[in-house]
Amino acid sequence: MIFIKLTILLFYKRILLLRFLMSATVLLFASTPSLASAAAYPPLEELSTYQMPTDMSRLHFYLITVDVGNQVYDNFGHTALRVVDENTGSDTVFNWGLFDVSSGVVSFSFDFFKGVMNYQLGLSSPQTEIAMYAQQRRTVWQDKINLNNTQKERLYRRLMWNAQSENRVYSYQYFFDNCTTRVRDYLNEALSGKIAEFNTGVTAYSFRDQIQSHYSSVGIVAFSLDVLLNSNIDRKISAWEEMFLPLSLRQRLMAIPSDVAVAGDLQMLLSESQILLEYQPPQKQLNAYAVVAVVLLAPILFLFAMLKKMPISYFTSHSRYGLRMPGFSFRLLAVLAVITSVFSGVYGILMLGSWFASDHLDLHHNLNLLLFWPTDLLGLIVACRWFFAIKPWPLSHSATPFVYYYLIAHLAGMLIYFVIAVLGLSQQWLDGIAYFVVPSFFLYTLLLTLVGFGAIKPRNTLL
């Protein structure tokens, strides 16, 4: 009876400990709110020094919308404004998507990681812009923006202010201040807030949903962003916020009536739609989670099928686990180790490093750090040993506890992560990784504890 009570007490204490660990984990990785504020511009009243066109009725504005591309930087699409002034014969495209890589790709990438993203407004001819998109094989739409003379004056004044060299550079933020939100904000200002009035409420989608949708043609990028971004991107976004996407902006502007009438009929805000270029959009790839699950799980299950018990020595009945067909099995284990070590280690470095060194708040406090550790990169050394020596990594008596505690800590992190995902204890969307990655990762780590390491055999000495 006493034994039963002690067993129940110990079990209860373990449950309390697990609950404490999960609660502490959720609090530790509770995300920092993203900075969702719109860019601040000087009031229009302060921008009265620019020369206006002599006849505003001969000034025309066009929305240029570019479809998604197949590169990492253009998978959201692009937006620009075309300004045609028949008074002077000028025809100019305002493009807020330029960035400077003259310092080198490595330097630019590091600045991007730190959150230092200085984009700028560029002015060019329509021919130059269209030729660039034709080379990229991207569809381009053009829509006339129907504005009255007062609205045209407001928009023109804002564009002239932005075109000044001291005002061209801005701090890019992929959701809240990009090439599309600049056009949205300027048009909303010219229309005295009309766009915001027509786009209230919350959509059915989160930023993560939009990221997954737009990067479906680049599976590895979609998966990586899912790992690296925290719960800041998991709330449902507003209709206003959704217009950070070029195609969403165009679609929503098409539903807004203008203040311009032709022959007594009120025009919509966008009209005279044209397709300037037309190409097939990038093809969707296989679901990244399904690919990861198959690539990891199939060889892991095969290696489990290769398990066999082996005696430690001829003089004892104790045994350990080994692998049948060691020449093939250990090399397969090494390949798995390279894949998991690289991805886990790099993801871990990026998440942990960004927490301390980056201004990207969407990368901070990420629960995926429970799974992906920077120290996992050391597994590359172990993988080389398995591949060439075709046997377990030999551990000294002093190193054995450290290695096995490390593996057990990994297993515990996976269990805590899975429980948090299943019970919905975090605002961060964890389901994809929890159901498609964690099972394979858990079995792989368990396999390492069984066959990946062994004790150093003592040398026989003659006394």
Same domain, 109 and 178: yes
The pLDDT assigned to 458 comes to 59
Structural tokens at position 162: 């932005």
Task: State the Cα–Cα distance between residues 372 and 227, nearest whole angstrom.
Answer: 9
Q: Does residue 236 lie within any of the structural domains? A: no
Average model confidence (pLDDT) for the chain? 88
Could you give the angle at the alpha carbon of 182 between the alpha carbons of 178 and 184, nearest 5°? 115
Same domain, 81 and 113: yes
Instruction: Write the pLDDT tens digit of every residue in 33-80.
Output: 444 455 778 888 777 778 899 999 999 999 999 999 877 778 899 999
Tell me the DSSP string of 380-428: HHHHHHHHHH-SPEEE-TTHHHHHHHHHHHHHHHHHHHHHHHHHT-SSS
Q: Does residue 217 lie within any of the structural domains? A: no
Q: Does residue 215 lie within any of the structural domains? A: no
The pLDDT assigned to 346 comes to 97
Sign of the torsion formed by the C-alpha atoms of 98, 219, 372 and 234: positive
Phi, psi of 193 (to 5 degrees): 85, 10
The pLDDT assigned to 29 comes to 52
Same domain, 312 and 257: no
Same domain, 181 and 328: no
Same domain, 254 and 290: no
Same domain, 171 and 292: no
- Answer yes or no: is pLDDT of 132 > 60: yes
Please give the average per-residue pLDDT across 359-384, as a whole number: 94
Q: Specify the range with the lowest mean pLDDT, choosing from 4-18, 165-179, 268-282, 318-332.
A: 4-18
Domain that holds residue 317: 286-455
Q: Does residue 102 lie within any of the structural domains? A: yes
Same domain, 109 and 143: yes
The pLDDT assigned to 38 comes to 58
Phi, psi of 402 (to 5 degrees): -60, -50
Contact yes or no for 455/394 (Cβ under 8 A): yes
Residue with tokens 């204490």: 13
Same domain, 451 and 348: yes
Same domain, 264 and 363: no
How long, in residues, is the chain?
Answer: 463
Same domain, 322 and 381: yes
Q: Does residue 14 lie within any of the structural domains? A: no
Same domain, 297 and 401: yes
Q: Does residue 45 lie within any of the structural domains? A: no
- Note the pTM of the prediction, 2 decimals: 0.85
Domain limit, last residue, from 229, 260, 277: 277
Q: Does residue 238 lie within any of the structural domains? A: no
Q: Does residue 12 lie within any of the structural domains? A: no
Instruction: Write the pLDDT tens digit of every residue in 86-126.
Output: 999 999 999 999 988 777 767 777 777 777 788 999 999 99
Same domain, 117 and 263: yes
The count of structural domains within the chain is: 2
From residue 203, alpha-carbon distances to 38, 214, 239, 240, 371 in Å are 19, 17, 6, 9, 31
Domain limit, last residue, from 224, 253, 277: 277
Instruction: Write the pLDDT tens digit of every residue in 255-309.
Output: 999 999 988 889 999 999 999 999 998 888 888 999 999 999 999 999 999 999 8
Domain limit, last residue, from 232, 251, 277: 277
Task: State the Cα–Cα distance between residues 446 and 463, nearest whole angstrom.
Answer: 40
